[in-house]
Structure 1
Amino acid sequence: MSNQNSISLFSVVSLSPFKVAMTWLMVVAENILLILLPLLIGYAIDGVLENSTAPLLAFAASLFGLVVVSVLRRFYDTRVYGDIRVKLAETVAHNLRGTDISAKNARLMMSRELVDFLENDLPALMTAGIQLVSIVIILATFHTYFALSVLAASCAMLLVYGCCHSTFKHLNGRLNDQTEKQVKILSGKPFAALSAHLEKLKKHEIALSDTEALVYGCIFSLLFVSVLGNLWLVNMLPSPSTGEVFSILTYSLEFVDTAIMLPVTLQVLSRLEEITQRLNRDESVFNDKEASYEV
C-alpha cells in the first residue's frame, strides 16, 4: 500500500491539526465554565443576602461567556470538520480508485464516521472525562472510600467492555461487509436479492444491538452497585447531615450518568477501528475475500 495514504483518527486530525486543537480548547473552556457555575451560584446567593451585586454580576458574566463560547464553537466546528470531510473523502477516493463502485460508495460513507466522531463524540467524551475527575475529587472530600467506590466501578466497567471489544469489532465487520454490497445489488440484481440483502442488514444490526444492550445492562448494574455502596458507606461519616447524604447520593448518580459515556464512546471506537482497517486494506486481499463470497 505504498501508493496509498493510511487512514486513521490521527491522520484525520492531521488534515487540520491547529483548527482541531482550537475546537478542543473551546470544549475545555466550555466545561470549565460549566464546572464553575455551582460555585458561582453559591457566591451569588451569599452576595445577594449581603446586598452585594459583584458576585451576581460575576455569575451573569460567566453565563454570558458560556453561551458565547458554546455558540462560537458550534459555528467553528461545522466549518472545520466540513473541510476535513472533503479532504478525507478525496484521500479515500484516491486510495479506492481500483475498487468496484459498490464498495467505494460504502467506504466513502464509512469514512465520514471518523470525522463525526471527532465532531460529536470526542467533545462529549472530553466533557465526561472532566466531569468524572471533578466528581471523584468532590466525593473524596467527603471520604476517600466514596471516591474509591466509583473508581472501582469504573475499572470493572472497562473490564466488561474490554472482554466484548472483539465481539463488537466482529459484528461491525459483518455489517460493513453487507453494506458494501448494496450499490451492486441495486444496480442489477432482482428485487428478491435486494430483499435478502435488507434482511441480512437487519440481522446484523439486531445482533449488534442485542450485544450492546447486554453489555450496557451489565455496566449499568455495576455503576448502580457503586451508588448503593456509597449510600451504605455514609455510615462511616461522623454524624452526617441530611445535606451531606443528599450531596453524596447526587454526585454518585451524576457519576453514573457521566460514566456511561465511556463505554458508548469505546463502542464507537471499536467500529472506527474496523472501518480504518477496511479503508487501509490491501485491495488484493479484499478481492480474494469477495471471490470467496461468490463461491
Structure 2
Amino acid sequence: MIEELFSLKAIFKRYPFRITLTLLLVVSESLLDLLFPLVIGWAVNDLVNSEFKGLVMLGVLGITSLFIGSARRFYDTRLYSGIYSETASRVVSSGRKQGLSVSKISARSSLLTELVEFFEHSISGIFLSLIGVVGALAVIATLNFEIFFACLGLLLLMTTMYFLTGGKQYQYHSHYNQILEQRVDFLSGRTNAAVRSHFLNLMRWNVKLSDIETLNFGIIWLGTIALLIATPLLAIDGAKSVPKVGTILALFIYVLDYSEKVVTLPFFIQQLIRLKEISNRMN
C-alpha cells in the first residue's frame, strides 16, 4: 500500500532495528550531555577545596561523549544514505504506476529527502532537546523549586504559541508544496514574466511561514530573557545558606541550556508540521 511507504512511521517500520540502534546512541549521547553542567559544578567546588576529582570526572565524561557522538555520526551517514536511495526508487515507481506527471514525481522525490533527512539530522536534535528539557527540569527542581516553576512557565508559553499557530502553518506548507509540485510543468515553455510570477507566488507562502515563525520566536525569546534575568536573583534569594559557587554555576548552566533547547524545540515542531503535510500529500 502506498501509505505504508512514504511517512516517518512507514520509514521506521521498514528499518526498525537499524533506526533503533542510532536512536539508542542518540539517547546515550543526550544523557551524557545532561551531566556536563552538574560535573562542571562539582569540579569547581572541588577546585575551591584544592581537589581534582571533579576535573578527572569531567575529562572522562568528555571523552566518553566524544566517542559515542562520533560513532553515531559515522553510522548515521551510511544508514540514511541507503534508506534514501531505496525509498526514492519506490517513490518514482509508485508515481509512474499512478500516472503522475514528471513534475510531481520529481518534486516528491525532492520532498522525500526531507523525510529521510529528518531521521538523520533532526531526530537526534529532538531527542537531545527533549531529554535536555526533561532532565534539566528534574535537576533544577532539586536545586531550586522557584526556578523550576519559572522554567515550566517558559515551556507553557512555547506550547501555547504553537497550539495557536500550528494549523495556520500546516495550511501555508500545503500551499507552498502545491506550487512546488507544479514547477517542472509550469516552467516548460513559459515566458520570463510567467516564470517570475511562479517564483514570487512560491516565495509569498515562504514569507508567510517566516512571519509566523518570527512572531513565535520573538515572544518565546522574551520569555527566555525574563527567565535568565530571574535565575540568579531567585538562586541567591532562595538559598537557605550561602550557596557554593559551583552549585550556582551549575544551576545557571542548566537554566541556560534549558532555555536554548526550549527555543530550538519550535524549529522541530514546525518541521514536523511540514513533514505531516508532505506525508499526507505523498500518500
**Equivalent position of 1:94 in the other structure:** 93
Deviates more, 1:74-83 or 1:23-32: 23-32
Distance 1:56 1:241 in 2: 20
**Equivalent position of 2:240 in the other structure:** 238
- Say if 1:89 and 1:108, in contact at 8 Å, map to a contact too: yes
Asked if 1:167 corresponds to 2:168, the answer is: yes
Residues 162, 87 of structure 1: CA spacing in aligned structure 2 closer, same or farther, 3 A cutoff? same
User: Cα deviation per residue 1:120-146 (whole Å; 9 max; x = unaligned)?
Assistant: 111011111122122212221223222
SS at match of 1:188: coil
State the 1:247 CA deviation.
4.5
**Equivalent position of 1:80 in the other structure:** 79
Q: What is the alpha-carbon root mean square deviation over aligned residues?
A: 2.7
Residues 146, 38 of structure 1: CA spacing in aligned structure 2 closer, same or farther, 3 A cutoff? closer
State the 1:252 CA deviation.
2.3
- Say if 1:125 and 1:262, in contact at 8 Å, map to a contact too: yes
Residues 13, 32 of structure 1: CA spacing in aligned structure 2 closer, same or farther, 3 A cutoff? same
User: Cα deviation per residue 1:54-101 (whole Å; 9 max; x = unaligned)?
Assistant: x76655444333222222211110111111112221222233221111
Distance 1:176 1:252 in 2: 38
Please give the TM-score of this superposition, normalised by the length of structure 1: 0.83
Q: Which amino acid is the alignment partner of residue 26 of structure 1? A: L
Distance 1:189 1:102 in 2: 15
- Of the three residues 245, 252, 261, the one matched with 1:258 is 261
Residues 224, 43 of structure 1: CA spacing in aligned structure 2 closer, same or farther, 3 A cutoff? closer
SS at match of 1:67: helix
SS at match of 1:189: coil
Distance 1:176 1:247 in 2: 45
Distance 1:256 1:38 in 2: 14
- Of the three residues 267, 270, 279, the one matched with 1:267 is 270
Distance 1:5 1:140 in 2: 43
Distance 1:189 1:7 in 2: 32
- Say if 1:5 and 1:95, in contact at 8 Å, map to a contact too: no
Matches within 5 A, 1:190-201: 190-201=191-202
Unmatched 5+ residue regions in structure 1?
281-295
Q: Which amino acid is the alignment partner of residue 147 of structure 1? A: F
- Say if 2:151 and 2:227, in contact at 8 Å, map to a contact too: yes
Residues 186, 51 of structure 1: CA spacing in aligned structure 2 closer, same or farther, 3 A cutoff? closer
Asked if 1:176 corresponds to 2:197, the answer is: no
**Equivalent position of 1:32 in the other structure:** 31
Distance 1:123 1:182 in 2: 32
State the 1:254 CA deviation.
2.2
User: Cα deviation per residue 1:233-282 (whole Å; 9 max; x = unaligned)?
Assistant: 343433554835555444322221111121110000010111111101xx
Q: Which amino acid is the alignment partner of residue 255 of structure 1? A: Y
- Say if 2:5 and 2:11, in contact at 8 Å, map to a contact too: no
Distance 1:221 1:67 in 2: 34
Residues 130, 3 of structure 1: CA spacing in aligned structure 2 closer, same or farther, 3 A cutoff? closer
State the 1:227 CA deviation.
3.3
Deviates more, 1:228-237 or 1:61-70: 228-237
Count of residue pairs the alignment pairs up: 277
**Equivalent position of 1:132 in the other structure:** 133
Q: Which amino acid is the alignment partner of residue 281 of structure 2? A: R
SS at match of 1:127: helix
SS at match of 1:238: coil
Residues 248, 66 of structure 1: CA spacing in aligned structure 2 closer, same or farther, 3 A cutoff? closer
State the 1:50 CA deviation.
5.2
Residues 145, 57 of structure 1: CA spacing in aligned structure 2 closer, same or farther, 3 A cutoff? closer
Residues 242, 279 of structure 1: CA spacing in aligned structure 2 closer, same or farther, 3 A cutoff? same
- Say if 1:44 and 1:59, in contact at 8 Å, map to a contact too: no
State the 1:46 CA deviation.
4.3
Q: Which amino acid is the alignment partner of residue 18 of structure 1? A: F
- Say if 1:19 and 1:80, in contact at 8 Å, map to a contact too: yes
Please give the TM-score of this superposition, normalised by the length of structure 2: 0.86
State the 1:153 CA deviation.
1.8
Q: Which amino acid is the alignment partner of residue 261 of structure 2? A: T
**Equivalent position of 1:11 in the other structure:** 10
- Say if 2:158 and 2:220, in contact at 8 Å, map to a contact too: yes
SS at match of 1:260: helix
Distance 2:113 2:9 in 1: 14
